[in-house]
């Protein structure tokens, strides 16, 4: 059983050499049908921000006592209430924090969802919504997350074509 409390505070937060936070996120995904057709069966899970109804993929601070992969899985559990198979990193982005005006470093991973929990740490703080790739790309608030989504779709399409 997973812990149903989110980590809080920045005591163990990792920072890059220029003083910006290092954040890690996931693109939780699943297929609506067994045949796993990327073009029309792929769904991704977005969550609302704690401070607004803006939608994005689950992400948060990478802490000193965890690997980047552990941070990605933790954030997906805390914010979206999903667990699954973490796949190879999609990339690393540098972006300016709107609130702090400093460059942050963001890492994104795909997470093939195997379990969606009914109770999760931030259930009462966020809403989660499954949508197709086109919808997700339109509503996601962060350009770097949209780039990560494009990389994921390209990767999954290439994998699918190898198996045809």
| DSSP β-ladder status, 22-31 and 103-116 | parallel
What pLDDT is recorded for position 87?
Answer: 98
Query: Domains along the chain?
Result: 22-162 (3.90.79.10)
Check residue 88 and give its pLDDT: 97
pLDDT at 1 (0 to 100): 43
The pLDDT score that the predictor gives to residue 52 is 85
H-type helices in the chain, by residue range?
A: 38-41, 68-75, 133-139, 143-162
Q: Identify the pLDDT of residue 8.
A: 59
Model confidence at 146: pLDDT above 60? yes
Instruction: Specify the 3-state DSSP secondary structure of 103.
Output: strand
Strand partners, 46: 129
Q: Residue 4 is encoded by which pair of tokens?
A: 């149903």
In eight-state DSSP terms, residue 21 is B
The per-residue pLDDT for range 79-112, each reduced to its tens digit, is 999 999 999 999 999 988 777 677 889 999 999 9
Mean pLDDT of 103-127: 95
Model pTM above 0.85: yes
């Amino acid at each position: 059983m997973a812990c149903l409390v989110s980590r809080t505070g920045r005591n163990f937060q990792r920072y890059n050499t220029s003083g910006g936070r290092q954040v890690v996120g996931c693109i939780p995904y699943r297929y609506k049908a067994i045949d796993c057709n990327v073009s029309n069966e792929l769904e991704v899970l977005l969550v609302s921000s704690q401070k607004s109804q803006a939608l994005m993929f689950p992400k948060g601070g990478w802490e000193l006592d965890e690997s980047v992969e552990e941070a990605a899985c933790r954030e997906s559990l805390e914010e979206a209430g999903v667990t699954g198979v973490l796949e190879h990193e999609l990339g690393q982005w540098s972006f300016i924090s709107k609130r702090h005006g400093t460059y942050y470093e963001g890492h994104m991973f795909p997470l093939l969802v195997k379990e969606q929990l009914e109770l999760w740490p931030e259930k009462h703080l966020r809403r989660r919504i499954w949508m197709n790739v086109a919808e997700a790309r339109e509503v996601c608030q962060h350009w770097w997350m949209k780039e990560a989504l494009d990389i994921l779709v390209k990767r999954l399409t290439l994998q699918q074509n190898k198996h045809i």
